[in-house]
Every structure is written in C-alpha cells, then in structure tokens.
Amino acid sequence: MRPDDRPRRPVARRFNTLIAALASCGVIGRLVVVVAGSLRGKPVPGSLLLLAAGMPIGFVGQGWAIYVLNARQRRSGRPAAVLGSGVLLGDLTPKLKKLFVVSALCGAVVSGIGFATMPNGVPDGSSGTCQYQINNHGSETCVSKHSYDAAGVASQRSFAGVLMVFFSMHAAVAFGGVPHRPTGGTPNHPSEPAATLS
C-alpha cells in the first residue's frame, strides 16, 4: 500500500472539507458585520461574540493551511521560495482564485479603513464624569454619542477585516485541497490532480 493510500486519508479529507466550510462561513459572517455596521452607523449588537468565536477557528485553520501547503510542497518537490499558485491554491478554478483573492484584499482594505478611522481609541463605556468615553492605550476621553458609535463601528470593522483576510486564505487553501474524482488510472492506483491533499 502506498503512503497516499493509508486509511487516515479520508479522515484528513473530511477535516479539510470542514475547514473549507468553516472558513467560508467566517468570511461571510465578518462581511455581514462590516456591512451592517456601516449601514447602521453604530456597532452591531452581539458582534463581539461572533468575532471572538472566529479566533479558535482561525487558529485551527491556520495550522491546517500550513499542513496542507507543506504536503503540496513535498509532492511538488520544489523549494518553498519558488512555489507557484498551483501549489499554493491547489485545484481552485480561476474564478474561485479570483474570488478568494478579492475577498482577502477587501478584508485588508476594510481593516485599514477601520484602523484609520479610530485614531482616538476604542469605546470604553461610561464613567462618573461622562456618559460616553473612548480608551486609547489607557488614556480615556469623553466624546459625543456619535463619536462613540463611530469608534465602535471602526473597531468592529478593523477586527472583522483582519479575520476576513485569514479566513479567505484558509478557505482558498482548503478548497484547493478538497479531493476531486480520479481523472484516470487503475482502481488501485488512480491518478489525481497534482495539488490535491497528500
């Protein structure tokens, strides 16, 4: 039995499919937070839990992406410095490649806008001296309700944008590693696309 045919392989593929689905949902969820916050002009209620819930998924997805890319590198036999898009993105179609690249770029732009529009800090509730205040590395400032909401939206936007970038990359790597039907070969040794998961 070849190493690629070991029983563990279906488990790895199912886990890969799970990562692809979770990362895609992560991208959509963060996009919803960004759009809803922009339309409302104030933070989306409960979005902090949604954003925080993405952290463990992001850590697992990052580890899995590294594992998949290492497997593709071993199969390609090329140094990491010269890996082409076929190894990095696997069997993704041109349309999916563009989709995930655009998604990651949008996340980067959204995050940059978020950080640029909250120069004075993040919302920090109320105090005995003012109803709305923001905190900038320990320095608290009293602000208006409008400024307080704007800081909250910017904070959510920056956090969501960063996660969008990572989730887009994780989804791209995972979708590129989702197995495809054999394209030829014998039943015992079917040939597979070069970039599928090892």
Cα angle for residues 116, 45, 24 (degrees, 5° grid): 75
Q: How many CA atoms lie within 13 A of 43 on its CB side?
A: 22
pLDDT at residue 42, as a whole number: 86
Mean pLDDT of each 10-residue bin along the chain, 198 residues long: 46 85 90 89 79 83 86 68 57 83 93 84 74 80 84 88 92 72 42 43
CA distance 135 to 127: 12
Q: What pTM does this model have?
A: 0.73
CA distance 135 to 120: 7
CA distance 44 to 196: 39
Residues in CB range of 47: below 8 A, 6 or more apart: 33, 36, 37, 156, 160
pLDDT at residue 48, as a whole number: 72
pLDDT at residue 193, as a whole number: 42
pLDDT at residue 166, as a whole number: 92
